[in-house]
Amino acid sequence: MTEQFSSNIESNWCLSHKKRCMDIVASALGLILLLPVICVIALAIAIHSGKPVFFQQKRLGRNGRDFHLLKFRTMVTAKNGPGLTRDGDARVTRIGRWLRKRKLDELPQLFNVLKGEMSLVGPRPDLEEFWSQASLDDRRILELKPGVTGAASLAFCDEERLLAQVPAEQLASFYIQEVLPQKARLDSEYAARATFRSDCGILLQTVFLPLFRRQREKREVIEREINEQVSEQ
């Protein structure tokens, strides 16, 4: 599936050589600095879940070109299932759940960035089975290079919890009709005004997102306990 679009991206930054230079420098430095972390995670997966340590999946990149997305494996290898994951998915391993919650399973995508298949900031790459059913307007976001994180990624940081509320038989249709268009709109709106500084802001928010999420979850637990105590009185 390869598509060509007439560009509707107003920002010169998204498709610029400067952004590519930023991707090369940042991903190379990231791989060097995070190499000990990557090795520890790989070893932990090998010990607790066995091999393979990495997971590759074909996704759609810029202009609808296929590429192989690289992640740490967070699921058991024996089970098949939908291309979407939600809270409580039995396929996710114990260590995989811990990694996904902190987005550490995405670290190997720095290799995708270094190879030029992805950017640090951009729309998250999705499966062809979903994009093939999307509208033409939504597919225009494919003119951008996919990213490790992005505006929609931050907005849908609790996507697995959201999808857990949807009946299993409606999961794919809900994602295609409700979630995917919103993601495309958010990423398109961001791309139209993207700059070097705004990309740095997205990256900083992504780094600190797990901390904010844990604080929010603690507040929710406390609020739930208070409400239960009040209801018992």
Question: Global pTM?
Answer: 0.86
Nearest to 144 by CA among 118, 109, 108: 118
Give CA–CA dist 41/107, Å, rounded. Answer: 10
Nearest to 38 by CA among 94, 97, 99: 99
* Token pair listed for 102: 């902190």
Half-sphere exposure of 170 (CA within 13 A, CB side): 10
Greatest Cα pair distance in the chain: 64
User: Quick one: what percent of the chain has pLDDT higher than 90?
Assistant: 74
Q: What integer is the mean pLDDT of 34-60?
A: 95
Give CA–CA dist 63/43, Å, rounded. Answer: 36
Q: Is the pLDDT of residue 7 over 60?
A: no
**What is the model's pLDDT at position 222?**
43
**What is the model's pLDDT at position 226?**
41
User: Quick one: what percent of the chain has pLDDT higher than 70?
Assistant: 85
* Token pair listed for 148: 């490790």
Question: CA torsion sign, 24 to 29 to 35 to 37?
Answer: negative
Lowest mean per-residue pLDDT among 1-5, 46-50, 72-76 = 1-5
Give CA–CA dist 73/51, Å, rounded. Answer: 9
**What is the phi/psi pair of residue 47, to 5°?**
-75, -45
pLDDT tens digits, residue range 53-109? 999 999 999 999 999 999 999 999 866 778 899 998 999 999 999 999 889 999 999
Is the preceding omega at residue 125 within 30 degrees of 0, hence cis?
no
Residue with tokens 């729309």: 123
**Cα–Cα distances in Å, from 119 out to 20, 96, 153, 199?**
7, 24, 14, 10
